[in-house]
Structure 1
């Protein structure tokens, strides 16, 4: 969780610098070129400014949401945020390891899945021995939880 907040803080810092330093300079330079109605540099800089403002708003909102996460509310014996789960996929006939992370950190190729993904939602609240059926874009999958390591076990 610290990694994701650090990444968000870095992106916020970069965007704030762009918004307060780089974009005003670009806009000032474009204004100096004259007629704004046909000034592509001016319109491009203003569009970028709108995008940066919107992205900053999203990032700050997400930082606020992440600051509200209380790790003591995550169960110690069931799947939750930060858990590493070994499942047997009855549909594929193989063992797969997943780790439940935030949506910003998710990377299916590394086994990092979001708690809001179909598989993540199906696993949250389950314990070792539980089975669940997940409907994914690739079809139904039957998963059995073989092993669970929660965020508390790793602490």
Structure 2
């Protein structure tokens, strides 16, 4: 899309429509995070790596540095403790994502409209460019290849639409208009 890129989609305003097949209210959205089984397993594997490989390595570094004596001026000890704190924060974030995650099987959702798990091809009606987006859950997003969070403003503006329908998504700079060209599941 000329003038816009997948990297600056954060400018899009959040659009919710209660008739959408995957509509989530603000309250529900803060409680649930839709994700595929693959996305859930990816987060679990990452958590396992952090807890069972990286954290024990840091704990060993702390023990070795502590054995060196005076902790007040022990840069290795303080560096390892700082690394431990940052790693623990990441572990806590992953645990939170997993706890709030709701595994959704895209195969159970409608195939004729934009829903979680689909890849949608759209035409920007202002610039004439076409883009493809895959609506994914937490841990699966990769903006460089068009995988966007289903909870993102752009995805929320497209949910429930069918091929040929148009979306108008309000943004601070105006209104972006898209036409749905294709919906598929991979």
For structure 1, the 5+ residue unaligned runs are none
**Residue 135 of structure 1, CA deviation:** 4.5
Partner of 2:64: 29
Q: What is the number of residues matched between the two proteins?
A: 149
Q: Please tell me the root mean square deviation across aligned C-alpha atoms, in Å.
A: 2.4
**Residue 2 of structure 1, CA deviation:** 3.5
Q: Out of 154, 157, 161, which is 1:126 matched to? A: 161
For structure 2, the 5+ residue unaligned runs are 1-35
Q: Is the 8 A contact 1:118 1:135 kept in 2?
A: no
Partner of 1:7: 42
Report Cα offsets for 1:81-104 as digits up to 9, x if no partner. Answer: 101112121112122222111243
Structure (1/2) with the larger helix percentage: 1
Find out whether 1:53 has 2:88 as its counterpart. yes
Q: How does 1:13-92 map to 2 (within 5 A)?
A: 13-16=48-51, 17-19=53-55, 21-66=56-101, 68-71=102-105, 74-92=109-127
From the superposition, tell whether residues 60 and 98 of structure 1 become closer, same or farther in structure 2 (CA, over 3 Å). Answer: same
Pick 1 or 2: higher relative contact order, CA cutoff 8 A, min separation 6.
2
TM-score of the pair, normalised by structure 2 = 0.69
